[in-house]
Amino acid sequence: MNKILLIIKREYLSRVKKKTFLLMTFLVPGLIIGMITLVGVLTKTGGDESAKITVYDETGLFNGKFNDTKEIDFSEATRSFAEEKLLASVEGGGFLLYIPKNLEHGGKIDIYSRKRATFSVLGSIEDQVNETMREKMLKDAGIDAATLNKIKPDFSINTKELTDEGEKDSSAGATLIAGFAAAILIYISLFIYGAQVMRGVIEEKTNRIVEVVISSVKPFQLMMGKIIGIGLVGLTQFLLWIVLSSTLMAGAGRALMPKDAIKPKTEQSASQKKATEAMQASQQGPAMSMISAMETINFKYLFTNFLIYFLGGFMLYSALFAAVGSAVDNETETQQFMFPITMPLLFTYILSFSFIVNNPDSTLSFWLSIIPFTSPIAMMVRLPFGVPDWQLALSIVLLICGFIFTTWVAARIYRVGILMYGKKTSYKELAKWFMYKG
């Protein structure tokens, strides 16, 4: 036991002390925050320049009805249609919006330009056209548009989960995102840390240190020490990421969002003011509901399960990775054995986003979240929809059995494989090794 601890310590420290570990620790949350900020900034400021749209209106209905938006400047056509069309056809010539006379009788609106109009520009124009036409049609039908707007209902549905502790607010959207994030993180980290285990085994084998080490410890101890050590590296990395990201998020949040909106904005610089206003105008609604939703997710529940499934899945797969590492002489030979290992992971990953998310309680989803080879990812996606405790318990117990099983199989291959040099290994060979005594 003491020796396993020594091995774990070495595997752990030798990786945590590496510069790449430090780099990853800071780089990943930095990148994530950077991306979020970038997306935020881009959506706030929109495109870099606004589209100039010349309106050639044959109906006269739209006179002065088009409102300039952040991305569109409207102007009335002053020349003939042919001339305007020519102007639009040159580089940087803007857009020509053509509204035909027979619009109300099935006519089509066209937009002419050298450069294709973006979806958001088209959407914005369509909205405005529809709005104007709706008002006109309502007026024609004798209905007052203002009254109609006044009585426009605006309800949204709050999701309340009925649990044993009583009802509580929940947010399907936010939990779903958290579940997805957890599933993706598990998927990626199984590969990253599994491959680290494999590379570690290959390194020991090609360095020929392995024979020295296993004259002191059992091959099983060496394998388990390596797996646990690297698993702990993974956990450390996650914890550091979470701590760092939440610190950064909190910092960024404080910088971007004033604590209370009533506070005078005079303290803010001009650019900040603009950003804040823009955000308040467009983002505040969803952002606020998002934040309040985040608070309602049972993060502790999700996080605990994430840790359980990461560790379980990691142990299960890294044992197989270790067996592969022991069977080959260098990394290029791993391909043939990697395929069956990565298949179930990839399969679940794809199904998670196409099937499980839409049918979380279907039979297929149930089995995927129960079978140990697929459950670490599938269960993460199912969790936000609520999973009965017995299913969760069954899945975890099976996961534990699963990794005990794969570890047992892997250890039998590993102990023979690490001492085999310069031989190309086949599946048949692996089966033989598995059968060896002692």
Q: How far is the CB of 9 from another protein (least distance, A)?
A: 9
Handedness of CA 188, 15, 10, 202 (dihedral sign): positive
- Could you tell me where the beta strands, DSSP code E, fall in 86-214? 95-99, 110-113, 159-163, 166-170
Residue 6 engages another protein in binding (rule: CB under 8 A): yes
Q: Which stretch binds another protein (CB under 8 A): 179-187, 204-212, 245-253, 349-357?
A: 204-212
Token representation of residue 257 = 């969002």
Q: Which of 125, 174, 214, 302 binds another protein (CB under 8 A)?
A: 214
Question: Alpha-carbon distance 157 to 288, whole Å?
Answer: 16
Judged by beta carbon, residue 281 or residue 431, the one nearer another protein is 431
Beta-carbon contacts of 138 under 8 Å, excluding residues fewer than 6 positions away, are 144, 145, 148
Residue 264 one-letter amino acid: P
Judged by beta carbon, residue 181 or residue 212, the one nearer another protein is 212
Residue 361 engages another protein in binding (rule: CB under 8 A): no
Distances (CA, A) of 254 to 38, 187, 250, 259: 17, 32, 6, 7
Four-point Cα dihedral 207, 209, 214, 215, nearest 10: 140
Residue 207 engages another protein in binding (rule: CB under 8 A): yes
Q: Which of 156, 215, 269, 363 binds another protein (CB under 8 A)?
A: 215
Residue 436 engages another protein in binding (rule: CB under 8 A): yes
Question: Alpha-carbon distance 398 to 387, whole Å?
Answer: 16
Residue 10 engages another protein in binding (rule: CB under 8 A): yes
Judged by beta carbon, residue 57 or residue 204, the one nearer another protein is 204
Q: Which stretch binds another protein (CB under 8 A): 209-217, 239-247, 289-297, 347-355?
A: 209-217
Q: How far is the CB of 7 from another protein (least distance, A)?
A: 8
Residue 437 engages another protein in binding (rule: CB under 8 A): yes
- The residue written with tokens 């910088």 in the block is 255
Residue 210 engages another protein in binding (rule: CB under 8 A): yes
Token representation of residue 384 = 């936000």
Q: How far is the CB of 437 from another protein (least distance, A)?
A: 6
Judged by beta carbon, residue 300 or residue 437, the one nearer another protein is 437
Residue 208 engages another protein in binding (rule: CB under 8 A): yes
Q: Which stretch binds another protein (CB under 8 A): 2-10, 117-125, 169-177, 264-272?
A: 2-10
Q: Which of 63, 67, 216, 246 binds another protein (CB under 8 A)?
A: 216
> 260 near 340, Cβ under 8 Å?
no
Q: How far is the CB of 195 from another protein (least distance, A)?
A: 18
Token representation of residue 196 = 């680290």
Judged by beta carbon, residue 259 or residue 437, the one nearer another protein is 437
Binding mask 161-200 for another protein (x = CB under 8 A): ----------------------------------------
Question: Alpha-carbon distance 168 to 175, whole Å?
Answer: 14
Number of residues that bind another protein (CB under 8 A): 26
Residue 10 one-letter amino acid: R
Q: Which stretch binds another protein (CB under 8 A): 85-93, 187-195, 210-218, 299-307?
A: 210-218
Question: Alpha-carbon distance 282 to 46, whole Å?
Answer: 11
Question: Alpha-carbon distance 200 to 13, whole Å?
Answer: 14
Residue 212 engages another protein in binding (rule: CB under 8 A): yes
Q: Which of 419, 423, 424, 427 binds another protein (CB under 8 A)?
A: 419
Token representation of residue 366 = 């149930």
Token representation of residue 304 = 């605990």
**Can you give the three-state secondary structure of 49-77, one letter per residue?**
CCEEEEEEECCCCCCCCCCCCCCEEEEEC
Token representation of residue 409 = 């199989």
Q: How far is the CB of 427 from another protein (least distance, A)?
A: 14
Q: Which of 14, 43, 80, 335 binds another protein (CB under 8 A)?
A: 14
436 by DSSP, 3-state: which? coil
Q: Which stretch binds another protein (CB under 8 A): 49-57, 180-188, 212-220, 328-336?
A: 212-220
Largest CA distance in the chain: 95
Q: Which of 176, 213, 257, 290 binds another protein (CB under 8 A)?
A: 213
Residue 23 engages another protein in binding (rule: CB under 8 A): no
Residue 435 one-letter amino acid: M
Binding positions for another protein, rule: CB under 8 A: 3, 6-7, 10, 14, 204, 207-219, 415, 419, 421, 432, 436-438
